Structure 1
Amino acid sequence: MLISMKLSRLLFVTFIILSVIVVQAQDSKLANAYFRNGEYEKAAEVYKRMFDKTGKNDYYFERYIASLLEVENFEEAEDAIKGQIKKRPKEMQLYIQYGVLYDKQFMPGKSKQMYQKAISNINGNVHMINKLGSSFARSGNYDLAIQVYESSKEVPELQYNYSYQLADMYRRTGKVSKMQDEFLNSLIKSEKRMKSVKTIFQRELDKEGYTMLQTKLYERMTEQPEMEIFPEMLMWTFITQKQYDKALRQARALDRQFEENGGRVFDIAEIALDDNYYDTAIKGFEYITTKKGINTSYYLEAKRGLLKAKRFKITKDYSYTQEDLLALEAEYILFLAEYGRNSQTVLLMQEYAELQALYMNDIDEAIEVLEELIGFAGVEKYALNQSKINLADYKLIQGDIWESTLLYSQVDKEFKEASIGEEARYRNAKLSYYIGDFEWAQEQFDILKRATSKLISNDAIDKAVFIMDNMALDTTDAPLKMYSGSELLIFQNRFEEAQTKLDSITTIYPEHSLEDDVFYSKAQIHMKKREYQDAIGFYEKIIEKFPEEIRADNALFEMAQLFELILEDKVKALELYEKLFLEYSGSTFAVEARKRFRILRGDEI
């Protein structure tokens, strides 16, 4: 009987407690709904009732005060806050609310007094630093948030705990130098913040800002040489600013200091190579092959990267000599002798074949290398078929049209929907164009207009339009056949024969619509022969005599590139790029021309 009575009492008490909880939950839901809907007087009434019941729920009190402030019931709000301060004089959040109340009444002097009272009583209390700092930050009082977070430094064990938040407040107030200092301090506390700090620096810093940051990092490295994060960050700033030589020096220093395997140096060399800074890439790869040696896992890739960088420096800069070519050829031969010609050295064999075919004028050697490669077992499919495309090109240079079209067709069939298949199809169509089979070529170009590769699609559109325009203008296709034949001769590096054929077009068909194309092809011949002034002459003729024809924007862009990259005449390059994007805004080169213009002018990109 006694047990039964105790159980009944327990159930009754539980029921009462649950009822209170249910009622509170209902009231909270109702108050929040009132607040969301802008019914602040009703919300204030419910929040006050709920706070009075609990006597200590800060959320209800804050919402109660916020509701009163929304309806400008300042008197009731002040009485409520004063009452709570009397009961809880050390509760800093109350002084913040008092400050907000004064702000609402446009009384900045009094609000500041309240805020300062809250800050002066923090005394290293982590809970209050978190609460007040975030409260000031949310309300946009960034200078006060800075005071709160700065106060944490008075406690030695909290010295860097709030550096990240402090940096963010300095960022919001435009104090760049202090922002940088605190973000760097935050990395001392947690290196995991490196990624987010880099992201913020990328977004916030201009060229001057990066220079300031680099100075600070040098100072930190002197003061705290054991901290690896600072030289890492410095290296990153150099990469961001495309100062790859400085980045490489930093990477090498870190590699030596921490006795690493060359990974950092390899990464910088790769980045420099991708961005066409060939000298820096060469120095990076050479460091690995000579200083780190065969024992590093990067050795083989560095050897490959070194050859690639040297090849690009020669083939893309146009400033090579025959001695440069012979030296590069010797390095490829040495590499392939050391590592063999096999399925693992396919890419190097492709590059070596390209060197022989396009620069050493040894087509037979190039073909022999690729035919050997295609015969290897276990060659990755993409590499195998790229080799077939290259082999088809070299066969075409030799004049073996049947073998070329067969190889292109094999790749097209193997990769019907892939970009490499589209590339093979485009080259096969171009071959048909070279030999004067315009009808079939145009059918293929029309299909390739929908190619997934933007470059192939654009080239196919240009060729299709070119054939259609020139076939429509003439009763005979003889001029176009002469011109397409000259293009094949240029592809085959038979420049004198091409020149003769081009001259014949203008002699037999004076003032023909192909005249601008003839000039363009002659410019291409002189570019290949590195006779740059002659090339410029023909580009200028196109721009002057045929400003409305399709070759005009090509001529402008290629001439601008010539002045920028080969002749190193920045002023002239700027002039040509500007003319291109202003007068030919619809050109496919306009976007790149504007980009190059801004880079040459020194704009932040």
Structure 2
Amino acid sequence: MKGLLFPFIFLLFSSSVLAQESKLAQQYFLNGEFEKAGALYQKLAQETPSNGYYFDKYIDCLAELEDFNTAENEIKKQLKKNPKQIQLYVTYGSLFEAQGNLDEAERQYELAIKKMPADRYTIVRLANAFRSNTQYDLAVRSYEQGAKLLKDNQVFSYNLGDLYRQKGESDKMISHYLNSLEGNPSRIRSLKTLFQRYLYEQDYDELQAQLYERIQTAKNNVAFIELLSWSFVQQKDYASALRQEKALDKRLKENGLRPYQLASLAVEDGDYATGISGFDYVIQEQGPQSSFYLPSKRELLRTKRIQLTEGYDYSPADLEVLEQEYEVFLTEFGYGKQTATIVKEYADLQAFFLNDLESAIQLLNDLIAFPGLEAKERAEAKLSLGDFYLMLGDIWESTLLYSQVDKEFDEELLGHEARFRNARLSFFSADFQWAQAQFDVLKSSTSKLIANDALDLSVFILDNLGLDTSEMALSQYADAELLIFQNRLPEALEKLDELKAGFPGHSLEDDVLYSKAQIAIKKKEFSKAISLFETIIADYPDEIRADNSLYEMANLYLEQLNDSPKASELFEKLFIEYSGSTFAVLARKKFRSLRGDDI
């Protein structure tokens, strides 16, 4: 055992010494102590002859000392000893360049390429030697000549792609990377990473043009189609991407996974038309035998609902068509765990858009009574049911449902949400002191959303309760907020106008403007919302709605108006001028992201 252990310890010790000497030599070199560095690099080169790096650094030291004769003799000796190490001609050429003898340097470089054997390892070493000297054209020639010697046009395609990337020639970079993909389709993931990192927006057109051409000539390589779809996704052209995913699904006889995933991505990014097309494809082409049939049916219905209701631009006939589609879905799949989400969404449609609270309440009561429903699904249904009873004015039934969820999920987020809704109910009912006390407790919720909303409402009530006649005005404002909650927007606007007329100069004026801005956003009247937010910031900069307005206005510019510079300006203003705001951290993060910082 001792006999085996000693060589291992000796090897470990030797490696440690080499590493220390290498580090010391590097430090000498960086400090300009070339004699000391050269002596160490020479020793290291002799001890590890297979490592050409140390020899090259030794020659660099001699060149820095302008001891060109010694350097040339050392290179010649090394070439005589190891004639197959043709990368030494690159070192030789560099030495001539250091002396200003460019013609002789060029001769050595040409000699290196001329002497290159049909050996992949040697070719790569030579190309890397040129690449280390930033002689990219010579490195390209090495690989191109090497490919001819090996009679394999794809063997160095990836390496050539890297070189053309460093040269900034994107068309050739793309071409060679795609050559490498043709020979090795499993390389697609690394190519996606490279393209995402190095392609400019205009380069994607070139990538797509080359991919279309290759798809025609290499029809069996599905990696090209997959990469083409990916390139369209980078441009957020989901419709074009979906066409490719459908083609792949049919060619590979798959079960609809690719179109389903692409459709989900499109919906997430707001392209509802493409999402609907993708889900519909899975339903029509794959049918009930596909595991994505039910999810596609469910997501199709959900997407149609979002597309219709988010725009606040729909007719009663549009809503009736959507209602019928929900009915057809539930007739086909029934009520249960897999359809619970659809039932809750259908109930929301009935309550908030069809103004049929009775039907909405019946839907949720049926769902809650369904045996085998998961506890969290039942609790979520109860929360929605509580909202609907509140909309009917049945406060007691509403608070009973909220309290049941609060009790069952006391320390969980669902319990916090139920507690928040109970406090909000009290606010709507003008029981402001109790509501304010509950919001104070919820400020410590583990949910940032609940905690921030609770903080806002707590400060809001506190800010307005102590003023003369403010409770009457606050009650009227709470009525308007309830109307907004019920999606009765024209009535809410009327109530807010009455409040402004009845209490001129009241401290709620900025809140009235803020609520009107929220209504404008619901109606997709973004310019109007921005105008209202600007009025709040200009006329009420010290009120509690100012930072909210600044943050929401910045998001409108970013997400709806596609004006990133303006959004960035507003985010910066927020975290500088309102550093104590609950939105300051988020604003700083978004500002840095827009600036291009790594977060």
TM-score (norm 1): 0.83
Which of 104, 107, 129 lines up with 1:110 in the alignment?
104
2:454 is the counterpart of 1:464: no
Deviation at 1:339, TM superposition (A): 1.2
Shift of the 24–80 alpha-carbon distance from structure 1 to 2, 3 Å rule, reads farther
User: SS of the counterpart of 1:460?
Assistant: helix
2:263 is the counterpart of 1:269: yes
Aligned amino acid, residue 506 of structure 2: H
* Aligned equivalent of 1:307: 301
Deviation at 1:516, TM superposition (A): 3.2
User: SS of the counterpart of 2:355?
Assistant: coil
Once residues 47 and 554 of structure 2 are traced to their aligned partners in structure 1, the CA distance between those partners, rounded to angstroms, is 79
2:366 is the counterpart of 1:372: yes
1:535-546 correspondence to structure 2 within 5 Å: 539=532, 542=535, 546=539
Deviation at 1:226, TM superposition (A): 1.7
* Aligned equivalent of 1:5: none
* Aligned equivalent of 1:186: 180
Contact persistence 1:34–1:40 (CA under 8 A):
no
Shift of the 294–40 alpha-carbon distance from structure 1 to 2, 3 Å rule, reads same
Task: Tell me which moved more, 119-128 or 549-558.
Answer: 549-558
* Aligned equivalent of 2:142: 148
Aligned amino acid, residue 434 of structure 1: F
After superposition, give the CA deviation of every residue in 1:183-219 in whole Å (9 maximum; x if it has no partner).
1111112222211111111111122100111111111
Once residues 124 and 466 of structure 1 are traced to their aligned partners in structure 2, the CA distance between those partners, rounded to angstroms, is 79
Task: Tell me which moved more, 383-392 or 586-595.
Answer: 586-595
Contact persistence 1:524–1:535 (CA under 8 A):
no
CA RMSD of aligned residues (A): 4.1
* Aligned equivalent of 1:195: 189
Aligned amino acid, residue 483 of structure 1: Y
User: SS of the counterpart of 2:337?
Assistant: coil
Deviation at 1:240, TM superposition (A): 1.0
Which of 220, 223, 232 lines up with 2:226 in the alignment?
232
Deviation at 1:538, TM superposition (A): 8.9
Larger Rg: 1
After superposition, give the CA deviation of every residue in 1:505-535 in whole Å (9 maximum; x if it has no partner).
344432212123334445656776x596997
Task: Tell me which moved more, 422-431 or 533-542.
Answer: 533-542
1:351-500 correspondence to structure 2 within 5 Å: 351-474=345-468, 477-492=471-486
1:82-121 correspondence to structure 2 within 5 Å: 82-121=76-115
Which of 124, 140, 147 lines up with 1:130 in the alignment?
124
User: SS of the counterpart of 2:219?
Assistant: coil
Shift of the 28–595 alpha-carbon distance from structure 1 to 2, 3 Å rule, reads closer
Shift of the 22–488 alpha-carbon distance from structure 1 to 2, 3 Å rule, reads closer
After superposition, give the CA deviation of every residue in 1:453-478 in whole Å (9 maximum; x if it has no partner).
33333322321221122124436523
* Aligned equivalent of 2:74: 80
Aligned length: 579
Contact persistence 2:174–2:207 (CA under 8 A):
yes
Shift of the 32–556 alpha-carbon distance from structure 1 to 2, 3 Å rule, reads closer
Contact persistence 2:443–2:454 (CA under 8 A):
yes
1:321-360 correspondence to structure 2 within 5 Å: 321-360=315-354
Deviation at 1:351, TM superposition (A): 1.2
Deviation at 1:373, TM superposition (A): 1.4
After superposition, give the CA deviation of every residue in 1:280-308 in whole Å (9 maximum; x if it has no partner).
11111111111222222211111111101
Shift of the 88–519 alpha-carbon distance from structure 1 to 2, 3 Å rule, reads closer
Deviation at 1:243, TM superposition (A): 0.4
Deviation at 1:593, TM superposition (A): 13
Contact persistence 1:446–1:460 (CA under 8 A):
yes
Deviation at 1:221, TM superposition (A): 0.9
Once residues 518 and 18 of structure 2 are traced to their aligned partners in structure 1, the CA distance between those partners, rounded to angstroms, is 79
Shift of the 35–434 alpha-carbon distance from structure 1 to 2, 3 Å rule, reads same
2:25 is the counterpart of 1:35: yes
Aligned amino acid, residue 128 of structure 2: S
* Aligned equivalent of 1:217: 211
Query: Structure 1 regions of 5+ residues with no counterpart?
Result: 1-10, 12-16, 600-605
Once residues 53 and 462 of structure 1 are traced to their aligned partners in structure 2, the CA distance between those partners, rounded to angstroms, is 71
Task: Tell me which moved more, 227-236 or 371-380.
Answer: 371-380
Percent of pairs with identical residues: 42
Once residues 583 and 532 of structure 1 are traced to their aligned partners in structure 2, the CA distance between those partners, rounded to angstroms, is 24
* Aligned equivalent of 1:7: none
Once residues 551 and 212 of structure 1 are traced to their aligned partners in structure 2, the CA distance between those partners, rounded to angstroms, is 48
* Aligned equivalent of 1:281: 275
User: SS of the counterpart of 1:207?
Assistant: coil
Aligned amino acid, residue 206 of structure 2: M
Task: Tell me which moved more, 177-186 or 148-157.
Answer: 148-157
Contact persistence 1:520–1:538 (CA under 8 A):
no
Task: Tell me which moved more, 237-246 or 62-71.
Answer: 62-71
Contact persistence 2:510–2:536 (CA under 8 A):
no
Once residues 540 and 83 of structure 1 are traced to their aligned partners in structure 2, the CA distance between those partners, rounded to angstroms, is 79
* Aligned equivalent of 1:296: 290
Deviation at 1:112, TM superposition (A): 2.9
Aligned amino acid, residue 180 of structure 1: I
Once residues 435 and 54 of structure 1 are traced to their aligned partners in structure 2, the CA distance between those partners, rounded to angstroms, is 84
Aligned amino acid, residue 380 of structure 2: Q
Once residues 440 and 22 of structure 1 are traced to their aligned partners in structure 2, the CA distance between those partners, rounded to angstroms, is 73
TM-score (norm 2): 0.84
User: SS of the counterpart of 1:158?
Assistant: coil
Aligned amino acid, residue 405 of structure 1: T
Shift of the 89–491 alpha-carbon distance from structure 1 to 2, 3 Å rule, reads closer
Aligned amino acid, residue 368 of structure 2: I
2:241 is the counterpart of 1:251: no
Once residues 581 and 54 of structure 1 are traced to their aligned partners in structure 2, the CA distance between those partners, rounded to angstroms, is 57
After superposition, give the CA deviation of every residue in 1:532-562 in whole Å (9 maximum; x if it has no partner).
6997699389559845355567678878999
Once residues 555 and 38 of structure 2 are traced to their aligned partners in structure 1, the CA distance between those partners, rounded to angstroms, is 70
After superposition, give the CA deviation of every residue in 1:216-237 in whole Å (9 maximum; x if it has no partner).
1111111212211111111111
Task: Tell me which moved more, 343-352 or 51-60.
Answer: 51-60
User: SS of the counterpart of 1:510?
Assistant: coil
Once residues 324 and 30 of structure 1 are traced to their aligned partners in structure 2, the CA distance between those partners, rounded to angstroms, is 76
Contact persistence 1:543–1:555 (CA under 8 A):
yes
1:557-572 correspondence to structure 2 within 5 Å: none
Contact persistence 2:117–2:123 (CA under 8 A):
no
Contact persistence 1:357–1:366 (CA under 8 A):
yes
Once residues 291 and 581 of structure 1 are traced to their aligned partners in structure 2, the CA distance between those partners, rounded to angstroms, is 46
Once residues 19 and 342 of structure 2 are traced to their aligned partners in structure 1, the CA distance between those partners, rounded to angstroms, is 71
Once residues 77 and 309 of structure 2 are traced to their aligned partners in structure 1, the CA distance between those partners, rounded to angstroms, is 82
Shift of the 170–365 alpha-carbon distance from structure 1 to 2, 3 Å rule, reads same
Once residues 385 and 320 of structure 2 are traced to their aligned partners in structure 1, the CA distance between those partners, rounded to angstroms, is 22
